[in-house]
């Protein structure tokens, strides 16, 4: 059972620095990066790490007179008999600190295998849904130095490359479900977080699964002391992860420059680049580029197995014409050009009814009605969907030169319930019949170059990254 553990030492002690509580000046420094936010959410499970985050953060709020709002989020996974009591423990602790708390429950049937990973995904999914409603700008997590070391070792066992071994970032702009994740305690050993709670006479909940050796994280945690005896301490591992993360960031910057110089995007969606420029690029950058192109074409983050990318790279590096589909993107190449577009697949992009509220279509385009248009004239009558579902014949489309027609199957088209094609910024680039400019909708491509972080996987477990 997971129970509150009272942490009052038997007698006065003088612990070494790595086991001593955090002084106020250190706490203020760690949380200083949060000052620019106006609303934050704190993920708290009731364990020592997240309980310490909650207590230290609330003290920092009061000490520095931070003007923002914060809420505590606790996810009750329902996997253990005591999970509801632990969630209530968190809610009471948050109330004691003057912060509102929201308990989210993972409902439905639970998985029989891979439980920890499934629970992690459910946790982020529930939190992301709540934060979209609450308006919180970022999620603050209690990951610490020991977590960083365990993450490094975990990914090392999976054969990860730079992205995986770079481990966790203090500020992750595009985390699971698009969450912005902040980890202010990433440089702090777990022992100092526990010491900070003990010094304040605070208690926390203890999860027995953290000691269960049937879980890989528990086994890695168990061997950390042996590694430390050989000099491979959590601090040293985290230092190595930091070096690798900087190397990854340098590669990402180089990749960004490569994309800007050699990749062009048709306003209606497909991408292309010179095959000669592709061949002249170093292999690691080529593989990252392929993942980035697939991500940009489909409009969502993709994770592709290394062997599949390597096979495609081998073909594209040759001379022959080819066409391959990967991660929902079609790669089409002739002697001079590589073209990439979104595959229609089994399920084409949705067709939706346009409302007065601006929105996002297919993760790839922002849309909104022009200010001069009366929304009431078109509500329920104007539709936005892919060209392959639009009420138009192929002969009525003035197909752009240098592209296969199917490259535009998933391009956005506007039409009315009567089948009249509406005007948009895209009709200039993808002319369709006699588009009615009086029926207009603004469309703007979302910037895939910056917002989508594509990754490829080396091939062991489901979480390892390049």
Give me the CATH number covering residue 235: 3.40.50.620
pLDDT score of 209 more than 70: no
Domain containing 139: what range?
A: 4-245
Q: Considering the domain boundaries, does residue 464 fall inside one?
A: no
Mean pLDDT, rounded, for 427-454: 75
Q: For 130-152, how does the pLDDT look when each residue is reduced to its tens digit (9 = 90+)? A: 999 999 999 999 999 999 998 88
Q: Among 111-120, 243-252, 339-348, where is mean pLDDT lowest?
A: 111-120
Residues 406 and 436 in one domain: yes
Burial of 214 (0-12, 13-18, 19+ CB in 10 A): exposed
The torsion angle over the Cα atoms of residues 269, 270, 276 and 280, rounded to 10 degrees, is: 60
Q: Considering the domain boundaries, does residue 195 fall inside one?
A: yes
Task: Decide if 18 contacts 189 (C-beta within 8 A).
Answer: yes
- Please say which residue of 189, 212, 245 terminates a domain: 245
Residues 146 and 214 in one domain: yes
Q: Considering the domain boundaries, does residue 330 fall inside one?
A: yes
Q: How far apart are CA 409 and CA 397, in angstroms?
A: 12
Residues 42 and 168 in one domain: yes
Residues 340 and 377 in one domain: no
- Please say which residue of 192, 224, 245 terminates a domain: 245
Q: For 172-185, how does the pLDDT look when each residue is reduced to its tens digit (9 = 90+)? A: 887 888 899 999 99
Q: Considering the domain boundaries, does residue 251 fall inside one?
A: no
Mean pLDDT, rounded, for 244-265: 91
- Please say which residue of 245, 280, 309 terminates a domain: 245
Task: Decide if 3 contacts 203 (C-beta within 8 A).
Answer: no
Q: Considering the domain boundaries, does residue 463 fall inside one?
A: no
Residues 52 and 166 in one domain: yes
Mean pLDDT, rounded, for 174-198: 92
pTM above 0.85, yes or no: no
Residues 155 and 291 in one domain: no
Burial of 105 (0-12, 13-18, 19+ CB in 10 A): middle
Mean pLDDT, rounded, for 418-429: 82
What is the overall mean pLDDT for the chain?
Answer: 86
CA geometry: angle 457, 462, 466, nearest 5 deg = 20
Q: Which residues are registered as beta bridge partners of 444?
A: 366
Residue 45, both tokens = 């499970």
pLDDT at 377: 65
Q: Considering the domain boundaries, does residue 466 fall inside one?
A: no
Residues 157 and 95 in one domain: yes
Residues 158 and 278 in one domain: no
Q: How many CB atoms lie within 10 A of CB 459?
A: 12
- Higher pLDDT: 246 or 331? It is 331
Percent of the chain whose pLDDT exceeds 70: 89
Residues 31 and 131 in one domain: yes
What is the pLDDT confidence band of residue 272, given thresholds at 50, 70 and 90?
very high
Residues 288 and 147 in one domain: no
Residues 219 and 357 in one domain: no
Determine the 3-state secondary structure of 130 from DSSP. Answer: helix
User: At 137, which helix (H) or strand (E)?
Assistant: none
Mean pLDDT, rounded, for 219-231: 85
Q: Which residues are registered as beta bridge partners of 181?
A: 139, 172
pLDDT at 464: 39
Mean pLDDT, rounded, for 252-264: 92
Q: How far apart are CA 140 and CA 44, in angstroms?
A: 9
Q: Considering the domain boundaries, does residue 428 fall inside one?
A: yes
The count of structural domains within the chain is: 3
Residues 357 and 303 in one domain: no
């Amino acid at each position: 059972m997971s129970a509150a553990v009272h942490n009052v030492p038997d007698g006065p002690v003088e612990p070494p620095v790595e086991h001593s509580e955090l002084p106020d000046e250190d706490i203020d420094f760690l949380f200083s990066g949060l000052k620019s936010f106006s609303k934050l959410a704190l993920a708290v499970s009731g364990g020592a790490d997240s309980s310490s985050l909650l207590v230290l953060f609330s003290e920092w709020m009061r000490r520095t007179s931070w003007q923002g709002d914060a809420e505590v989020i606790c996810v009750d996974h329902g996997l253990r008999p005591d999970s509801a009591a632990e969630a209530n423990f968190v809610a009471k602790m948050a109330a004691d600190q003057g912060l509102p708390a929201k308990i989210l429950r993972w409902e439905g049937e639970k998985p029989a295998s891979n439980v920890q990973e499934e629970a992690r995904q459910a946790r982020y999914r529930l939190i992301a849904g709540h934060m979209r409603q609450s308006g919180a700008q970022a999620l603050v997590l209690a990951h610490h130095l020991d977590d960083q070391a365990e993450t490094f070792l975990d990914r090392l066992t999976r054969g990860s490359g730079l992205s995986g071994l770079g481990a966790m970032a203090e500020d992750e702009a595009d985390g699971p479900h698009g969450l912005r994740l902040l980890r202010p305690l990433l440089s702090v050993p777990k022992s100092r977080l526990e010491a900070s709670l003990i010094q304040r006479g605070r208690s926390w909940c203890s999860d027995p699964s953290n000691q269960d050796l049937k879980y890989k994280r528990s086994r890695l945690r168990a061997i950390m002391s042996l590694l430390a005896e050989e000099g491979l301490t959590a601090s040293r591992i985290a230092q190595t992860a930091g070096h690798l993360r900087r190397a990854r960031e340098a590669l990402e910057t180089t990749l960004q420059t490569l994309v800007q110089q050699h990749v062009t995007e048709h306003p209606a969606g497909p991408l292309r680049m010179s095959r000669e420029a592709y061949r002249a690029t170093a292999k690691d950058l080529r593989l990252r580029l392929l993942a980035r192109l697939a991500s940009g074409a489909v409009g969502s983050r993709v994770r592709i197995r290394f062997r599949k990318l390597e096979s495609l790279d081998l073909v594209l590096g040759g001379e022959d014409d080819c066409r391959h589909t990967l991660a929902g993107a079609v790669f089409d190449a002739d002697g001079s050009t590589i073209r990439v577009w979104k595959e229609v697949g089994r399920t084409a992009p949705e067709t939706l009814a346009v409302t007065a509220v601006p929105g996002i279509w297919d993760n790839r385009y922002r849309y909104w009605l022009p200010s001069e248009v009366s929304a009431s004239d078109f509500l329920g009558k104007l539709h936005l969907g892919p060209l392959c579902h639009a009420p138009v014949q192929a002969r009525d489309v003035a197909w752009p030169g240098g592209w296969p027609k199917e490259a535009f199957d998933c391009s956005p088209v506007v039409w009315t319930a009567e089948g009249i094609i509406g005007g948009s910024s895209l009709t200039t680039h993808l002319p369709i019949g006699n588009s009615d400019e009086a029926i207009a909708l603004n469309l703007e491509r979302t910037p895939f170059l910056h917002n989508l972080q594509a990754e490829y996987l080396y091939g062991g477990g489901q979480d390892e990254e390049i």
